[in-house]
Amino acid sequence: MPPVENHVAETLLLAKKQLIRAIIQSKTKPYLPVWGELFTSLRDIARIGQETKENIKLYSLQPTGSMWYLYKENRFHADLPDPGISISLSQEQLIEALLKGSFSPKITSA
């Protein structure tokens, strides 16, 4: 049986991939509903952060910055170093912002 840490890491990686995929899908195919996928991904990430008591980096922001889940505050946090702004969001606020096109992930070519 694999160690619990491997299972948590795999679950976290899957949730992050699902989140990025849903964000991209909301931009490329805005007629498809993605609210549920965003909700599920963010809920899973938050649950893992609470269980492991660790802050989790969700993704890098376009053009600069990072999106985080901060377990102590139980909030999502956009860190934008270029203008020096930090934005704290609830899960629902982040979903609404993502659906409006805010906080886009930096897409790296593989």
Torsion 48-52-55-59 (CA) sign: negative
pLDDT single digits (tens) 72-109: 999 999 999 877 899 999 999 999 999 999 999 987 64
| Mean pLDDT of the residues in the chain | 90
Tell me the mean pLDDT in the region 37-61: 96
Q: Is the separation of the CB atoms in 94 and 76 below 8 Å? A: yes
Lowest mean pLDDT among 5-9, 24-28, 67-71: 5-9
- C-alpha–C-alpha distance, residues 92 and 29, integer Å: 21
- C-alpha–C-alpha distance, residues 53 and 17, integer Å: 21
Tokens read off for 63: 């053009």
**Residue indicated by tokens 């989140």:** 19
Q: Is the separation of the CB atoms in 71 and 53 below 8 Å? A: yes
